[in-house]
Amino acid sequence: MSDLAEKVLHGEVLSTARLIRDLDDGIDGAIAELKILYPHTGKAEIIGITGAPGAGKSTLVNRLIENFRSRGKRVGVIAVDPTSPFSGGAVLGDRIRMQNHFNDPGVFIRSVATRGHLGGLSSSAYEIIKVLDAFGSDVILVETVGVGQDEVEIAGAAHTSVVVLTPGMGDEIQNLKAGILEIADVLVVNKADREGAQVTVQGLRRLLEMGGFDRKGWKPPICLTVGTDGTGIPELVQAVDQHREFWNRQKAQPGFENKRREEDFLRILQGQAISKLIVSLRRSGSLDEIVSRLVRGESDPYSESEKVLKLGD
């Protein structure tokens, strides 16, 4: 077994931080370490926290950390931030985000940048989740970047997806049906001490009653919270626990785990195949030739893509 992977499995913080950094930076050899760790994953509970900017996601994550730590659970946190235009890294660092927990040995926090990756996560988020799982985290909280209603990728990574909203959204609630509302396992109206909280709750209930969501028997609860003072956090944790129990029952159904593994494999295959293809096109000079034809108006990107894909048939 690799020395680095073994240290991660033994809960060594510095080695875990190093492997996460290498995975995030795409360093050669990092995936080899992940191959060793993969059989030791699948134990942690993964909770996704998503929602629009300003909804108070980070404050809620802080409160959730406190709650899980009070129950003796080791907590891993992945905070996905916008990419800095200067450094290429995360705009907000982990020391700034959750400094109250920085010196707690039972909490491991990592901020990562999207680096242009869409869907609310970073390109390395899935791999970092696996590292924190192998590291021994009982709960892994994944806070998405907060760019709007297209942050649905978290549903494929988390066991429970928590969607955070705020009062005063008005007619915007109606637009959520085609967005992140569809992936919500738990709905949270944060900043519930503000005017309009009950109106927001009523709007959400109407949408849920309209149906059209494939819940497999699960009805997303709506929790009212005030992250700044901790109001409603016990109820939120209870809702997350109840969904975890529901998820465990679903997991026991035939074919459930097969589907999860298939999605995991195809995501990795797609990422590696695209990266390999792009490198090949650059090295051979084919990419420059394709771009030149597009610039001269001799072809279109759809036809060129079809030609490239046919080469692999």
Tell me the backbone φ, ψ of residue 212, rounded to 5 degrees. 95, 0
Tens-level pLDDT at each residue, the chain (313 residues): 689 999 999 999 999 999 999 998 888 899 999 999 999 999 999 999 988 778 889 899 999 999 999 999 999 999 887 544 334 444 454 445 556 777 889 999 988 876 444 444 456 888 999 999 999 999 999 998 765 444 567 777 889 999 998 887 554 554 555 556 778 899 999 999 999 899 889 888 888 887 666 667 888 999 999 999 999 999 999 999 999 999 999 888 888 889 888 988 888 888 888 888 999 999 999 999 999 999 999 999 999 999 998 876 6
Cα gap 126→271, rounded to integer Å: 12
128 close to 19: Cβ distance less than 8 angstroms:
no
Q: What is the pLDDT of residue 123?
A: 63
Cα gap 173→34, rounded to integer Å: 41
Q: At what angle do helices 256-284 and 233-251 cross, to 10 degrees?
A: 90
Tell me the backbone φ, ψ of residue 46, rounded to 5 degrees. -110, 120
**Amino acid residing at 180:** I
- H/E stretch holding 78 reads strand 75-81
Cα gap 17→139, rounded to integer Å: 17
Q: What is the pLDDT of residue 180?
A: 64
pLDDT tens, residue by residue, 48-69:
998 877 888 989 999 999 999 9
Residue 275 CB: number of other CB atoms within 10 A?
Answer: 12
Q: What would the two tokens of residue 312 be?
A: 């692999």
The helix/strand/coil state of 245 is helix
Distance between start and end Cα atoms, the chain: 37
Q: CA 8 → CA 11, 109, 136, 222, distances in Å? A: 5, 15, 9, 37
pLDDT tens, residue by residue, 159-202:
999 999 888 755 455 455 555 677 889 999 999 999 989 988 98
Cα gap 295→298, rounded to integer Å: 8
Please give the DSSP secondary-structure letter assigned to residue 193.
T
* Residues across the chain: 313
- Would you list the domain boundaries of the chain? 44-253, 258-311
CATH numeric code, 44-253: 3.40.50.300
Closest CA to 43 of 117, 135, 122: 135
Closest CA to 177 of 212, 222, 152: 212
